[in-house]
Amino acid sequence: MKKAKFQNAKQTGKAGFDTLDDTLKTAADTGDGSGADATQGAATISDAAAAELVYMIEEEKLAGDIYEAFYELYGLEVFNRIAQSEDRHFATLVAQAEALGIEVDSFVFEPAGEFENPELQEMYDDLLAAGSQSLQDALEVGKAIEEKDMEDIAEAAEAVEGTALATVYDNLLTGSSYHLAAFDNLL
């Protein structure tokens, strides 16, 4: 259930994800990690940057949903840990959207594997099918997700440079690099 998943998304992580997760929690709570209220001095972002943020939120949901499905299928703990981290990334971006006044309720509570964006729905279906063939394929899917996520995050960060959102994106980029390294180590 995505509602429970979202509500539990800020739980403390495990292993090497704790430091990043603390940074992301701070960014979610304060907007930029400065200790200030996220709405205080909040920058206005363009419609294109707002649309990109909405896409990024749903992309983080996709990653978490895929990794949860692979964890259920294969029982490999790395999928569980990274799914939990993706849930925190999701919650962090939702907090940013809310601080910026961007409505995301239309898809935030969608069940696992369901997406408002048709491109992401197709991507989810294709990646789930590919990763369900074997554990090796699932790890390759994880690697591909993180590589795409890193490209998208870097692009999104450039569009909002100098804002609290850019700081959050930079932190997510670091997290995705850890996820990518975890998959690379298992391949």
Banded model confidence at residue 20, pLDDT cuts 50, 70, 90: very low
User: Which CATH topology does 43-103+118-187 take?
Assistant: Ferritin (1.20.1260)
pLDDT for the residue numbered 108: 83
Tokens of 141: 């899917």
pLDDT for the residue numbered 131: 98
Q: Which residue has the higher pLDDT, 184 or 40?
A: 184
Indicate the pTM of the whole model: 0.78
Phi, psi of 9 (to 5 degrees): -70, -15
Tokens of 72: 């259920």
Tokens of 45: 């972002």
- Considering only 19-33, 65-79, 117-131, 136-150, which range has the smallest mean pLDDT? 19-33
- Considering only 20-29, 59-68, 86-95, 169-178, which range has the smallest mean pLDDT? 20-29
- Give mean pLDDT, residues 108-129: 95
- Considering only 6-15, 59-68, 154-163, which range has the smallest mean pLDDT? 6-15
What is the percent of the chain with per-residue pLDDT over 90, rounded to a whole number? Answer: 72
Amino acid at 32: D
Contact 10, 88 (CB under 8 A): yes
pLDDT for the residue numbered 36: 33
| Count of Cβ atoms closer than 10 Å to residue 186 Cβ | 14
d(CA 112, CA 63): 10
In the chain, where are the structural domains located? 43-103+118-187
Tokens of 59: 């992309």
Phi, psi of 28 (to 5 degrees): -65, -40
pLDDT for the residue numbered 25: 39
pLDDT for the residue numbered 43: 58
What would the pLDDT profile of 29-72 be if each residue is shown by its tens digit?
434 333 333 333 345 889 999 999 999 999 999 999 999 999 99
